[in-house]
Structure 1
Amino acid sequence: MKVVNIGNIKIGEGLVLIAGPCVIENEEITYRTASCIKKITDELEIPFIFKSSYDKANRSRIDSYRGPGLEEGLRILSLIKRKLNIPITTDVHCRTEVDSVREVADLIQIPAFLCRQTDLILSCAKTGLPINIKKGQFMSPQDMRHVIQKVESVKDAQIILTERGTFFGYNNLVVDFKAIPVMQGFGWPVIFDATHSALDANFVPCLVRCAVACGVNGLFLEVHPNPKEALCDSANMVNLDDLYNILRLAKKLLLAHSNFSLGSR
């Protein structure tokens, strides 16, 4: 498997965390969340990339909160990156924003609903930054091979794939954990989004354990200091107070997984 380099972080070696609030609500909440996650991951020695969105362009309702917008959102992300000295990722929904995002982000995320949009994928790949592509809920893991080929058509591409569940009827997702080794078989690291896959924060710890046991290369968690008051995805997000124990157990499972060899007794 190829290793994706993001600053000093090597995705594909050990377990990486991508985490933060779903959307930027304001500077104070976003900075406080990033700072607290950094303290936890520093203690647990888990490499950390901060994620939050400046504009959730795919909200279901017209009156749903989308974020502060491109300019203010990137200002806040840039401040967090500079003050906390951590890498940043955010999602891009249209080609016109790619050049602005590349000035701040260390990793560009392509949302699940847009994972087949060739022009957007190529625009992001041409920035020279690593690209994290979330597998659409409507896609099989095998079909992500074609998405990878689009990115690999650009020289020196670096790719991460994120599993985030599959449609199971209306308004429900299930996770087929075979997707992790299947997509790793394409030669690039795989991240598991436990919050969107769960649709309910109560199930996040269980799904995290499953993914780590399957040998995933990293976790994606949306985290908030008070999920009930969050302006987006409140049901899914992990409470900041619960993050330490979730990651501590994941780290223990990672150690067990790394010591396990097939056929051992």
Structure 2
Amino acid sequence: LGLPLIMPASGYTSSVIPILLMVWFGSTLEHWVKKWMPASMKMFFTPLIVVTVTVTLGYLVIGPIATLITNLLGEFFALLFGLPMIGSLLGCTLVGAFWMCLVIFGFHWSLVPIALVNLSTLGHDYILGSVIAHSFSLGAVLFAMYLKNKDEKFRGIALPAMISAFFFGVTEPAIYGVALPDKKAFINASIGSAVGGLIIGLSGAVVYMSGGLGVFNWLSFIDPSGVNGINHMIWAIVASFVGAAVGFAIEFATYKPEAAK
């Protein structure tokens, strides 16, 4: 029909909010359709109407709204980092604190383009650098839970998820399998990540490439020009372990396996 489609550059494959909104709208529409649809026609026409309307509005209305929210978040963080004196410090701390939340909802894609532009124009980036501690903090939180929880089934899930997050930066098993169901564990991991972001903001460390995750991400802080050498990598390692220590300490002190069970 020639109607304009407003889609993010990466499409909707890595997003969550548009899908959640579409499913919610579809469920509401389904209940409404079932109220007036004759019983003999429900099986065929209810899903036909629901899917047709939901997908159409998803592309024309729901998706663009979610994209707008994502773009506004990107503008907010760009403005935040641009504040004089405290911009880098405050920005790194907030991004570190909320990075895992942004990842869950797919909103981290509002920051990735800014980071890539910084790498291509400035040769370095502070956004990707500020989140160095999140996987280490999350892994340390799971390790604290592993030590205190003697349930074999839980330990069988927590240990590999901890190794995956801490050493290799793959956090999905840890987030969705352990931290989010516990809620407090997710918050404690975010606190540790925020402390790591604070250290990065104070030190001024930046990444010079979009590299690996976990311990391999430390290499991204090596200055290829040789001006800063490995100084930024050292600060990245410090931020990683301090964030991990904070997350571990809070979780070990507050985690009660019996209450969680």
Query: Is the strand fraction higher in 1 or 2?
Result: 1
What's the TM-score, normalizing by structure 1? 0.25
The higher radius of gyration belongs to 2
What's the TM-score, normalizing by structure 2? 0.25
Query: Is the helix fraction higher in 1 or 2?
Result: 2
